[in-house]
């Protein structure tokens, strides 16, 4: 009888309970596929008494995740607690030091500490697998590290935060303002404990930083990412975008350019009929482009019990089968430090301004844009009452730097009432 692989699971929230369910309910299938039983030795969580809808009595209980991670009867430490530092990182380091492999859903921990943890794992002959950290149930890390290993990856992009996509599509479909839908998302339990992680683009940024490392063979560098959240996207922007055939998505793009690695996460206009444009609710989508394969589109649930537990189990199964890939797809010591490049790939931009409704106001704005080298493609002033006029401008292709120069010149015109909204158009 082959030896079981024994898990220690820290964190028994939705995902942890989902993992326990799969291990219990699919034991025979998992054993047949892995060639050995998958067993749980011990679990750990903050509250021992909570009913998690799954029997835990067969497993040892540890209050301290570090103790759990270093138990002699644990082969794989499954870290599902979350948090960039603190207990999750301490327990992960302890597990690696004790010769365990680690499976985690913790994007923040790896986006901020991934290089050091990967070096520690690989020095110990162990691995850290993190499929569940990126786009929930979509096996995108596996796609990049295995199926596409023969490709030079040119670009990775996608919608990787289901909460933001839910908010944006719900605003559009129900014609509701941001604040109302934010509250709805809160009531539905979609928002992270710190909602800024979602709506500020940080959670999606963590995910993109991890994918960029795997895609381009570079050290994970979250600090280099340009991040804008969706907080300033209004129902008016969504309506205007729809009128022009676009939808607004919190879009992440990572690409290697001659100047260095460009990574950005920001609300963008994408064609409504494109795969990204047609993405509804909390679904995620990742688009991968490789020199040999061309474009691949992966779509699926980015969060939730089943999808995230599915990703955790995929990693557990690899380790049970003896597959220990380098954490970021190539040995950590060979990952390059990428030069961070600001997004200079030119694109058209959507601008929404509130202008004082007085003679010459539009001319002053147009002149400021012209002086910054930004050319106007289309312009529309919508019907209004009162002293301010909402004006929409779509520029010809320009760089972010030139657009920012134009935006910086607006206050001096004396006619721009509020801070303008500017969104990149990704055709």
Does the protein bind ligand HSE through residue 70 (CB under 6 A)?
A: no
Does the protein bind ligand HSE through residue 38 (CB under 6 A)?
A: no
Instruction: Give whole-number Cα distances, 19 to 28, 79, 166, 407, in Å.
Output: 15, 11, 25, 49
3-class DSSP state of 41: strand
Does the protein bind ligand HSE through residue 161 (CB under 6 A)?
A: yes
Query: Burial code of 8-31, b = ≥16 C-beta within 10 A, e = fewer?
Result: bbbbbbbbbbbbbbbbeeeeeebb
Q: What are phi and psi of 29, to 5 degrees?
A: -65, -45
Question: Which parts of 199-218 interact with ligand HSE (CB under 6 A)?
Answer: 203
Does the protein bind ligand HSE through residue 404 (CB under 6 A)?
A: no
Does the protein bind ligand HSE through residue 302 (CB under 6 A)?
A: yes
Determine which residue in the list 208, 253, 286, 303 makes contact with ligand HSE, applying CB under 6 A: 303
Q: What residue has token string 């022009």?
A: 244
Stretch that binds ligand HSE, among 45-53, 158-166, 254-262, 378-386 (CB under 6 A): 158-166
- As given in the structure block, the two tokens for residue 190 are 């979609």
Does the protein bind ligand HSE through residue 192 (CB under 6 A)?
A: yes
Does the protein bind ligand HSE through residue 326 (CB under 6 A)?
A: no
Is 50 an active-site residue?
A: no
| Alpha carbon distance 152, 356 (integer Å) | 50
For residue 5, the surrounding DSSP H or E stretch is strand 5-10
DSSP bridge pairs for 221: none
- 366 Cβ neighbours under 8 A, 6+ residues apart: 376, 379
| Alpha carbon distance 275, 167 (integer Å) | 18
Does the protein bind ligand HSE through residue 104 (CB under 6 A)?
A: no
Determine which residue in the list 114, 137, 139, 162 makes contact with ligand HSE, applying CB under 6 A: 162
| Alpha carbon distance 331, 327 (integer Å) | 7
Residue least distant from ligand HSE (Cβ): 163
Choosing from 100, 107, 207, 364, which is the catalytic residue?
207
Q: What are phi and psi of 140, to 5 degrees?
A: -80, -30
Does the protein bind ligand HSE through residue 163 (CB under 6 A)?
A: yes
CB 220 within 8 A of CB 114: yes
Q: Which is nearer to ligand HSE, 92 or 161 (CB)?
A: 161
Q: Which is nearer to ligand HSE, 44 or 161 (CB)?
A: 161
Shortest distance, CB of residue 252 to ligand HSE, whole angstroms?
Answer: 12
- 202 Cβ neighbours under 8 A, 6+ residues apart: 196, 227, 229
Does the protein bind ligand HSE through residue 122 (CB under 6 A)?
A: no
- 385 Cβ neighbours under 8 A, 6+ residues apart: none
| Alpha carbon distance 116, 404 (integer Å) | 35
Stretch that binds ligand HSE, among 93-101, 113-121, 144-152, 159-167 (CB under 6 A): 159-167
Q: Which is nearer to ligand HSE, 8 or 162 (CB)?
A: 162
Shortest distance, CB of residue 134 to ligand HSE, whole angstroms?
Answer: 8
Q: How many CB atoms lie within 10 A of CB 363?
A: 11
Q: Which is nearer to ligand HSE, 138 or 425 (CB)?
A: 138
Site string for ligand HSE, 234-273 (x = CB under 6 A): ----------------------------------------
Shortest distance, CB of residue 195 to ligand HSE, whole angstroms?
Answer: 9
Phi-psi region for residue 135, left (φ > 0), alpha (ψ -120 to 50) or beta?
left
DSSP state for residue 340 in the 8-state scheme: B
Shortest distance, CB of residue 185 to ligand HSE, whole angstroms?
Answer: 9
Shortest distance, CB of residue 302 to ligand HSE, whole angstroms?
Answer: 5
Shortest distance, CB of residue 163 to ligand HSE, whole angstroms?
Answer: 3
Does the protein bind ligand HSE through residue 310 (CB under 6 A)?
A: no
Shortest distance, CB of residue 198 to ligand HSE, whole angstroms?
Answer: 5
Does the protein bind ligand HSE through residue 198 (CB under 6 A)?
A: yes
Does the protein bind ligand HSE through residue 374 (CB under 6 A)?
A: no
Does the protein bind ligand HSE through residue 231 (CB under 6 A)?
A: no
Does the protein bind ligand HSE through residue 184 (CB under 6 A)?
A: no
Angle at 125 between CA 120 and CA 129, to 5 degrees: 70
Shortest distance, CB of residue 166 to ligand HSE, whole angstroms?
Answer: 8
DSSP bridge pairs for 354: 390
DSSP state for residue 241 in the 8-state scheme: H
Active-site positions read 207
Residue ranges binding ligand HSE (CB under 6 A): 161-163, 192, 198, 203, 302-303
């Amino acid at each position: 009888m082959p030896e079981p692989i024994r898990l220690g699971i820290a964190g028994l929230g939705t995902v942890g309970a989902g993992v326990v369910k799969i291990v219990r309910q699919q034991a025979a299938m998992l054993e047949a596929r892995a060639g050995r039983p998958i067993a749980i030795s011990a679990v750990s969580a903050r509250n021992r008494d909570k009913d998690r809808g799954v029997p835990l009595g067969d497993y040892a209980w540890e209050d301290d995740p570090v103790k759990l991670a270093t138990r002699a009867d644990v082969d794989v430490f499954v870290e599902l607690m979350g948090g960039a530092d603190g207990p999750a990182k301490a327990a992960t380091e302890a597990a690696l030091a004790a010769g365990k492999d680690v499976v985690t859903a913790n994007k923040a921990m790896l986006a901020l500490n991934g290089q050091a943890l990967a070096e520690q794992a690989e020095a110990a002959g162990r691995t850290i697998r993190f499929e569940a950290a990126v786009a929930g149930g979509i096996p995108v890390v596996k796609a990049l590290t295995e199926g596409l290993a023969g490709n030079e990856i040119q670009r990775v992009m996608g919608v990787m935060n289901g909460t933001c996509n839910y908010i944006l599509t719900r605003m559009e479909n129900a014609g509701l303002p941001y604040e109302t839908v934010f509250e709805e998302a809160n009531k539905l339990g979609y928002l992270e404990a710190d909602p800024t992680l979602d709506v500020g683009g940080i959670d999606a940024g963590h995910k993109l930083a991890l994918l960029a490392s795997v895609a381009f063979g570079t050290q994970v560098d979250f600090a280099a990412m340009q991040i804008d959240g969706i907080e300033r996207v209004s129902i008016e922007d969504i309506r205007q975008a729809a009128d022009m055939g676009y939808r607004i998505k919190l879009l992440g793009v990572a690409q290697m350019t001659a100047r260095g690695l460009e990574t950005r996460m920001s609300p963008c206009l994408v064609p409504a009929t494109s795969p990204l444009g047609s993405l509804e609710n909390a679904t995620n989508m990742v688009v991968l482009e490789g020199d040999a394969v061309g474009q691949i589109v992966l779509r699926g649930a980015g969060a939730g019990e089943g999808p995230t537990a599915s990703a955790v189990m995929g990693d557990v199964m690899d380790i049970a089968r003896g597959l220990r890939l380098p954490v970021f797809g190539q040995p950590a010591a060979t990952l390059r430090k990428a030069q961070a490049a600001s997004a200079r790939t030119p694109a058209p931009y959507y601008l929404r301004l509130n202008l004082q409704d007085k003679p010459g106001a539009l001319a002053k704005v147009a002149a400021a844009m012209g002086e910054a080298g930004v050319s106007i493609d289309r312009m529309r002033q919508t019907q209004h009452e009162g002293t301010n006029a909402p004006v929409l401008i779509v520029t010809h292709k320009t760089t972010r730097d030139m657009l920012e120069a134009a935006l910086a010149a607006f206050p001096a015109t004396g006619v721009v009432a509020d801070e303008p909204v500017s969104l990149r158009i990704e055709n």
